[in-house]
Structure 1
Amino acid sequence: MTVFKPAGLLVCAALFAGVAKAETEVKLGYALADTSHYGAGARAWQEAVEAATGGAYAFRSFPSSGLGGEREVIEGLQLGTVEATIVSSGTLANFVPETGVFDIPFLFRDFDHARSVLDGPIGQEILAKFEDAGLVALAWGEQGFRHITNNRTAIAAPADLKGLKIRTMENPVHITAFQTLGAAPTPMAWPEVIGALEQGTIDGQENPLSVITSAHLSEVQTHLTLSGHVYSPAVLLVSKPFWDGLSPEDQDAFRKGAVAGAKAMRAFVDDVEQSGVDTLKAEGMQIGTLTPEQRAAFREALAPAYEGYARQYGEDLIRRISDSQ
């Protein structure tokens, strides 16, 4: 016997199926404002996935540490309570120690060198290690080369850092470097930094121009030293429980979307590298640039730290990175 269903019910059922499909929420948390390079990456990632899947996934972004600090968000990914994040490499060393090799000071010559290493075999080998930590790393994003800001003095030599309380990420490579240079590194989650600078709890911090400009650090810092001491990548991550529940086609959409997000971040950084210094100067910051000779003096002062890095990460890996074209 044929059973006829009213046309209205069929339409309602179809609409309901479409709504249900579109309600697969993807919570995407990150530390900076939506106007930052993180925000640019998040939007490109979202747009690419939603286009490729016909709107089957609805991204819900939580910028400005709306889901907590980076460590908390990563732990949320491990638990499956957060689906996705864009996160700095500095925090990741606590979860995937091998990522710390990229934080070695003065390891990368320039942007082309850094991007070539991350997009090549070395970078992809390290991305694959994230699964052991219950995470799925889809692409290397970017923050740029890190520079030092502070409220006490211009920095032209390692001696100028002596005793300066510099906020660092919770990153052993960064902490060791600043300790070796005579500073007082102070690990601190990003949401606490602006208040600590305002109150004088710390003297300064170090970040790429993309962060210094988007966080308006010129409002709380006087001196900017263009040191370029560390190249700072970022990673676009998803939760492994979430990833394992995706079809192969949707996994491909998320991976390609993450690559689009990474490209958007790099484009943002390229723009800031052109315009950021002029913006900060106009906002009143006193800006200095390390000369090649001054950078060499910093590298010489870091010799004890380099010995430790070689023991930790292996001379061969560090040499592979240094020698890459």
Structure 2
Amino acid sequence: MNNAQNQTAGTATSTAPHEAEVPLVTSRRGNLWIPGEIVETPNGTVQRAPLFASWEAPETVRFPYPIVLVHGGGGQGTDWQTTPDGRPGWATRLVEAGYVVYVVDRPGHGRSPYHPNVVGEMGGPFPYEAANGLFFPDEAREQQTQWTFSRSIGEPEVDQLVAAMGPLPHDLAESQRMDADRLARLLDRIGPAVLFTHSAGGPAGWLTADARPELVKGIIAIEPIGPAFGGFPGIGQLDWGLTAAPIGYEAGFTSAEEVKNASPAELIIPALKDLPISLVTGGASAFAGFAEEVVEFLNTAGADAAWLHLPEHGIDGNGHGLIFEANSDEILKVIQRELDERINIED
């Protein structure tokens, strides 16, 4: 047996995943595609960056709107389905709690195919070092107490986390435009919904609400990227405020430069008016450092945005990967209370 085989063999556990003590759930489930644009190529007529969505509906539905789970950065829909250490993810927990759930693979990620000749240039591969810096940076190691493993490169749980990560499209603005277009058309199919976004999936939430304000009933933004006009080495820049792609300001800006030079009073986004948004951050996450600024930007735009900082709800030790961490179930219960308290179900 060679080293690679040894390493793979070393990841085996004593209990097969299908034998784990996971609750049985009676549900209906399926999947669908939101097609990409039809384009001509030297190899024939193809689709450009479709979006894959799986769905699951419990036997008894307790919430009137589906939840659409939008993954972050280089991730994919599986981020919401199982944690790196093998526990049920939020998609499963939400169905158990009586929610209809849609899980998407953003265009060019996971099961949504990517070919650079059609979609555009790929960014670089997602290395272990990037995962370490994002999810468990050295400077926050002692403060981040909600990991069940040592967080070392090559550790089985870290392998599980990184295996799902792939390249982003090189053009961040076009990537976000495709996200919003496909998500908007998904809502055309399924009706009004609440969006859960994570990390670099955050702009997809703002842009989808801009495209379909009547169909987005609320946004739960988990550790969204920011601050406004921020830049991310190797990824891109939020040239339009909280997005790299153009978004519909009331002032009718035609360039990102106009947005950057505008006064706060001009940064109104009509589609976000009174939209309930909860921005969730972990107590040991660098993303909490600019969360207040993101909330302020959203409220200036006209939204009804609130900052849900987990330590203020008695939940400590979380970093950027709070949807994966040991207390993910506890965090979700806080978010379910947010849904009940903040989403208007009488429309």
Q: TM-score, normalised by structure 1?
A: 0.28
Larger RCO (alpha carbons 8 Å, 6+ apart): 1
Q: TM-score, normalised by structure 2?
A: 0.27
When you count helix as a share of all residues, which structure comes out higher?
1
